[in-house]
Amino acid sequence: MSERHSGASPLVEVVCVDCTVCPHRALLEQGGCVPGDVCLTAQSGRQIDRFLRRNPQIAQEYLSDKFWERRAIAARYAPLEQVRQLPRDADEVVRRVVASRLPADGLDEYLHDTDREVRMTVAARIAPEHLSALVGDEDYLVRLQVARRLPHGQLRRMVGDTDREVRKEVARRLPPFALSLLAKDEDAEVRRIVASRMLPDDAEKMLTDSDWVVRLEAAQRAPLEDIAEMVDDVEPDVRALVRQRLNDFLLGDD
């Protein structure tokens, strides 16, 4: 029997299915199933999946099966209309499959599901204008998915997120004119992204940052008159970049 929700699987599956009592035994002669490999009644997700992939017309009959894995795989292959009519399943794996198939406007019921992967699926598929309901989700991976899709006009709401990965994504997506909101972020990696995308006049404000990579990024964008004082920066790479930009300007290349 398959281990509950485990990604591990044995190299050899033990065949203990009696084909004579299977309601689909007629498929055996037609090549619709193969004992030990393509089997709906086996307690093996791989065999069940192979069977329903080959015989999807049977999937809807197993949407209410007692075995969670059979229900989940059936939900993957059953007609969408049948999946839409399913009551909320007690098993999170089944709910993840359902959430991945429902139309975007049918996901409201799963917005606050107890399983984070269900909510992540919802965040990846729901209409962007409805993502605001997940901005404050307790799980950072859900919020990260939200930050990837939230309309630009609402991204300001996430600049103070407690997780740096979320703030890094916000820094990648905020319009350049709004990046000053993260210019003083506590995390250097966030500030590095900010400095690399800022408008030139705003980048000037980051030339004295404590992180040399931030200064390097800012020095590439800030106006020449603002970087002149950095020719003696303590970091060799910063000094080299500043001097190169100034020399290019003198030679007419900047």
Q: Provide the 3-class DSSP secondary structure of residue 38.
A: strand
User: Percent of the chain having pLDDT more than 90?
Assistant: 80
Q: What is the mean pLDDT of residues 181-186?
A: 96
Question: In the chain, how many domains are there?
Answer: 1
| Cβ contacts of 180 within 8 Å, gap of 6 or more | 198, 202, 205
**50 within some domain:** yes
Spatial contact of 99 and 121, defined as CB atoms under 8 Å apart: yes
Contacts for 110-119: CB closer than 8 Å, 24+ residues apart: 116/141, 116/142, 117/92, 118/92
Q: Is residue 175 part of a domain?
A: no
**pLDDT tens readout for residues 162-180:** 999 999 999 999 999 999 9
pLDDT bucket at 5, cuts 50 / 70 / 90: low
Give the separation between CA 194 and CA 123, rounded to whole angstroms.
25
Rounded CA separation 135/241 (Å): 39
The set of residues, in sequence order, having a beta carbon less than 8 Å from that of 67 and lying 6+ positions away, is: 43
Residue 214 lies in a domain: no
Is it the case that residue 9 has pLDDT exceeding 60? no
Residue 35's pLDDT band, with cuts at 50, 70 and 90, is confident
Could you tell me which of 232, 186, 187 has the C-alpha nearest to residue 207? 232
* Prediction pTM value: 0.83
| CA–CA dist 234, 249 (Å, integer) | 23
- Residue 86 covered by a domain: yes
Report the distance separating Cα 108 and Cα 44, nearest Å. Answer: 32
Count, residues in the chain: 254
What are residue 235's phi and psi, to 5 degrees?
-95, 125
Range of the domain at 54: 17-98
Tokens of 144: 């990260």
Query: Per-residue DSSP letters for 200-217?
Result: HHHHGGGTT-SSHHHHHH
CB-CB contact of 135 with 158 (8 Å)? yes
Give the torsion sign (CA, 247, 249, 250, 252).
Answer: positive
| 143/163 Cα distance (integer angstroms) | 9
Strand runs (DSSP E) across 24-75, as ranges? none
Identify the CA nearest to 213 among candidates 192, 234, 197.
192
State the pLDDT at residue 254.
Answer: 54
Tell me, what's the pLDDT at 67?
95
Q: Is residue 151 part of a domain?
A: no
Residue 4 belongs to a domain: no
